[in-house]
Amino acid sequence: MTVALITGANSGIGRASAVYLARQGLEVYGSVRSLDKAAKLQAMAGEAGVEVKVIEMDVVSDDSVRAGIDQVISAAGQLDVLVNNAGIGGNGVTEFSTIDSYQEVMDVNVYGAIRCIQAVLPGMREHGSGHIVNITSIAGVIAAIAQAPYALSKRAAEAMSESLAQEVAPFGIRVSIIEPGITKSAIFAKNTEAPGQDAYPDHLRWMFQFYANGIPQATPAEEVGRVIHHAITTDEPMLRYAVGDDAHAIVAGHAAMTDEQWVALGMAGSDEEYYAGFEHHFGLDIRPPS
């Protein structure tokens, strides 16, 4: 049986993906920072008639990660799939986002994933197989406006994943990058602050409007789990998988843009000019309801 560990399994994408993979017959472990945060995960697993084994692990702690990975391997005898999902948001323009805010987001979203990767790779290399799945975001693809800490972390995770994929390929280990668009998750309710309101009101308003428009039609979190399962079982693997109609539109639109067009989008002189430009490049109408 394939053994998988999903970090940040207490909510959103992590919780839904853990249950989805368990329904597909995998032996699934879900990590949470504190066991008292696992009640909803256990309830959802129970409703689905599956088991997700919960471990306590904090990805910002070297010792906690090592202990968590050791616990999984000791209990299951192996670890075949690592899904680095644990993450936090980070709004704000570059000028006004504090260094502390950058460090906090990077420590979870990038260094946390690296800690887990470093803990599992010796065993995977020894067995000559394994799969590492890194959950990034379309915010890393387009370096989303007014989300400097978050976009930085997700772009860094993409770069790390590209490098890792080449490094581990000779050992029979695969890497997948999952790029969700706006997905049903509690992360949005936790990220309502955005430094730089006085100096950059337009840019922050456009960023919030993008999410306000997308949240009502957000992709179900279970869809990310479905894509993860496809990535780890397909005979025709790809490095990147966008998830959600908005993600596919943004990935395609960004690939077709020049750098100069990207910069020009930020110079829009009005809300309508920005929304029209966004729709032109990405095919998404993010205007507020009239």
Token readout for 186 is 């509690």
211 is catalytic: no
Find out whether 50 and 225 touch, Cβ atoms under 8 Å.
no
Pick from 171, 232, 161, 230: nearest CA to 4: 232
Write down the catalytic residue from 20, 29, 102, 150.
Answer: 150
Strands (E), the chain: 3-6, 27-32, 52-56, 81-84, 130-135, 173-180, 240-243
Among residues 98, 112, 29, the alpha carbon closest in space to that of 64 is found at 112
- Ramachandran quadrant class, 8 (left: phi over 0; alpha: psi -120 to 50; beta: rest): left
How is the beta sheet containing 81-84 ordered, strand by strand? 52-56, 27-32, 3-6, 81-84, 130-135, 173-180, 240-243
Complete DSSP assignment for 263-284? HHHTT-SSHHHHHHHHHHHHS-
Q: Point out the residues that are catalytic.
A: 150
